[in-house]
Structure 1
Amino acid sequence: MKDNYIPLRVNRDFGGIISVYFDFFKQNIKNFTNVFISYNGIFLIGLLIASYLLVSGFIGLIAQEFDFIGDTDTSGFAQDYYLYLGIGGFIFFIIFICVAILNYSLSSGYMIKYEEHKSNNVNKNEVWQLVKGQFGNIVLFVLLLIPIYLVVLIAAIILAIIPLLGLFAQYILQFFLTAWVGVSFFDMLQNKKSVTDALGEGWRLVTGSFWKSVGVNFIMGLLLGILLLLALIVPGIIIGVYTFHVIENNVDYSQSIVSTIVYTLGTCFILIIAVYGQCLSQFVNGILYYALHEKTYNENARASIEQIGQNH
């Protein structure tokens, strides 16, 4: 066991979960990013292509609106730009679903292997083998989420009718769902359970510590949102300064290669940050899972007591 290993199977309170999350994040950010890049390479290229198509469509339509293209009949151009937007949007939607499933699995698998080896030197091939071995259950889990989210959507619409109180209820429902899905998914991979058994176990764990589960996801969702916004400051400033330059100098951005490159890379970076954020959010529920599981079953505490008895 490495000296800097952070035990995860510990019954932690609200503050302890948040504290250990950031300790885990700082310790594993480099190694997990390597796993992330290794298995998301083809999707990152796909996001770049989707970004190019979306940017080309938006730039073309805006340029047409401000008559940068000229006084000729632009209906043909508009059709092309809408086609770019449609294809780009479709590619992005497909990639987003794929990477959401993949990275939800990778982050869970990484944490499971971290706990198994009690080391932050996690082998990316072992993570992939764990995910691949549970591929059928992962797909079934995602399919079952569709009716669950539909029910929650209907409930949210009903709650929206109630002023103020309904808004708070919507947020509580949203963060409860996030905790339940995240903890259930983690339990499925950790213990190789069936989807329904994992959802049942996740429900018992999360409802047994309802406010802790909701609160952790609310606070960490807020903090991670701020963290991701900070990561977007530098590219945001670059794009903002360049846009100011374009407007001030009346640049024909519809014909500018530089404009296309700047906006494409900026859009792609934003999409990648959003995808990476999914992984970070599942780490939260991984730590929450271990805390709730230990609180319920005391397996690690009993094992430690038995080990002390054997040593004596």
Structure 2
Amino acid sequence: MKNNYIPLKVNREFGGIISVYFDFFKQNIKNFTNVFISYNGIFLIGLLITSYLLVSGFIGMIAQESGQSPFAENIGNEQEYFIYLGIGGFLFFVIFLGVAFLNYSLSTSYMIKYVETKDSNVDKKDVWQYAKSQFGNVLLFVLLLIPIYMVYFIIAVILAIIPLLGFFAQYIVQFFLTAWVGVSFFDMLANKKGVTEALGEGWKLVTGSFWKSIGVNFILGLLLGLLLMVALIIPGIIIGVYTFHVVENDVDYTNSIVSTIVYTLGLSIFLIIAVYGQCLSQFINGILYYALHEKTYNENTRAKIEQIGQND
């Protein structure tokens, strides 16, 4: 066992989960980033193409509405902008599902292999093989999320009608759903269960520690969001300064290759960081899963007691 290994199968309270998340994050961020880049190449290229289509469509529509486009009165050209937006939006939806399919698997498999090997230098090939072996269940799970989130959307709309109380209730439901989905997914991969069985187990674990599950996802989700915002500061400043330059100098952004490149790269960076943040958010529920599972079943504690008895 490596000396720097962080035991995750421990019944931790709220503060302990927060603390161990950042310990795990600091120890594994470099190695997991290598895994992320290695197996997300096609999606990163897809996000770049999607960004180009969306940016081209939006710039064209803005120019059309403001009358700055040389084809401002050309209806066919306006339809072309709509086509760009339509294709870009469709590709984004497909890539989003693909990213959810892959990265939920990678981040969960990484943590499972970390616990199995008790080593922070997890082999990316082992992570990929483990994730690949579960792709059937993962695909079914991701597809099942569509009706689940549709129901959540309906509930959120209803709660939005209720002043103040509905606002808080909406966020409670949101973070409960995040915890339930994340913990259930982790249970499915860790124990190689079916989708419905894992969702049932996840429901049992999360409802058994309702406020802890919600609190952990709220606090760590907030802190992770702030961290990702910091990562976006530099590209945000560059885009902001360039936009100011465009406005002040009346640059013809509709025909400027530089404008298209700057905004395409800016949107791509934003989407890639959002995808990466999705992986890091699943680490939250991985640590939560191990804490709740140990609290419920005491498997690791009993194993240690049995081991002490054998040594005696």
State the TM bucket, normalised to the shorter chain. over 0.9
1 CA distance for matches of 2:71 and 2:156?
A: 48
- 1:90 lines up with 2:86 in the alignment: no
2 CA distance for matches of 1:302 and 1:71?
A: 74
2 CA distance for matches of 1:24 and 1:296?
A: 23
Alignment TM-score, normalising by the size of structure 2 = 0.97
Specify the code of the residue in structure 2 equivalent to 1:185. Answer: F
SS in structure 2 of the partner of residue 236 of structure 1 = helix
Specify the code of the residue in structure 2 equivalent to 1:131. Answer: A
> Kindly tell me: are residues 83 and 198 of structure 1, through their superposed partners in 2, closer, same or farther at Cα, counting changes over 3 Å?
same
- 1:185 lines up with 2:185 in the alignment: yes
Displacement, 1:66? 2.9
Specify the code of the residue in structure 2 equivalent to 1:221. Answer: G
Is the 8 Å Cα contact of residues 97 and 142 (structure 2) preserved in structure 1?
no
Counterpart in 2 of 1:248?
248
Counterpart in 1 of 2:158?
158
Counterpart in 2 of 1:229?
229
- 1:59 lines up with 2:24 in the alignment: no
Specify the code of the residue in structure 2 equivalent to 1:57. Answer: G
SS in structure 1 of the partner of residue 121 of structure 2 = coil
Displacement, 1:72? 6.5
Where structure 2 has 5 or more consecutive residues not aligned to the other structure, the ranges are none
Provide, for residues 29-60 of structure 1, a one-character-per-residue CA deviation record: whole Å limited to 9, x for no partner: 11101111111101100100010111111112
Is the 8 Å Cα contact of residues 64 and 74 (structure 1) preserved in structure 2?
no
> Kindly tell me: are residues 72 and 295 of structure 1, through their superposed partners in 2, closer, same or farther at Cα, counting changes over 3 Å?
closer
> Kindly tell me: are residues 72 and 147 of structure 1, through their superposed partners in 2, closer, same or farther at Cα, counting changes over 3 Å?
closer
Counterpart in 1 of 2:274?
274
Alignment TM-score, normalising by the size of structure 1 = 0.97
Provide, for residues 179-198 of structure 1, a one-character-per-residue CA deviation record: whole Å limited to 9, x for no partner: 01100100000000111111
Q: Judge which range, 66-75 or 37-46, deviates more.
A: 66-75
Counterpart in 1 of 2:216?
216
Specify the code of the residue in structure 2 equivalent to 1:91. Answer: L
1 CA distance for matches of 2:91 and 2:151?
A: 27
Is the 8 Å Cα contact of residues 63 and 72 (structure 2) preserved in structure 1?
no
1 CA distance for matches of 2:22 and 2:300?
A: 22
2 CA distance for matches of 1:69 and 1:183?
A: 50
SS in structure 2 of the partner of residue 12 of structure 1 = coil
Where structure 1 has 5 or more consecutive residues not aligned to the other structure, the ranges are none
2 CA distance for matches of 1:72 and 1:303?
A: 73
2 CA distance for matches of 1:63 and 1:53?
A: 15
Specify the code of the residue in structure 2 equivalent to 1:82. Answer: F
Q: Judge which range, 38-47 or 133-142, deviates more.
A: 133-142
Specify the code of the residue in structure 2 equivalent to 1:269. Answer: I
Counterpart in 1 of 2:198?
198
Provide, for residues 89-134 of structure 1, a one-character-per-residue CA deviation record: whole Å limited to 9, x for no partner: 1111110111012101110000000000001111111111111111
Displacement, 1:151? 2.6
Q: Judge which range, 182-191 or 218-227, deviates more.
A: 218-227
Specify the code of the residue in structure 1 equivalent to 2:110. Answer: Y
Identity across the alignment (%): 78
1 CA distance for matches of 2:201 and 2:221?
A: 23
- 1:37 lines up with 2:37 in the alignment: yes
Displacement, 1:199? 0.9
Q: Judge which range, 156-165 or 168-177, deviates more.
A: 156-165
Displacement, 1:154? 2.5
Displacement, 1:71? 7.0
The alignment of Structure 1 onto Structure 2 pairs a total of residues equal to 312
Q: Judge which range, 100-109 or 284-293, deviates more.
A: 100-109
Displacement, 1:255? 1.0
Provide, for residues 6-31 of structure 1, a one-character-per-residue CA deviation record: whole Å limited to 9, x for no partner: 10000000011011001101111111
Is the 8 Å Cα contact of residues 100 and 142 (structure 2) preserved in structure 1?
no
Which stretches of structure 1, 4 residues or longer, exceed 3 Å deviation after superposition? 70-73
> Kindly tell me: are residues 163 and 73 of structure 1, through their superposed partners in 2, closer, same or farther at Cα, counting changes over 3 Å?
closer
- 1:10 lines up with 2:35 in the alignment: no
1 CA distance for matches of 2:146 and 2:100?
A: 14
- 1:109 lines up with 2:85 in the alignment: no
Displacement, 1:148? 2.3
Counterpart in 2 of 1:142?
142
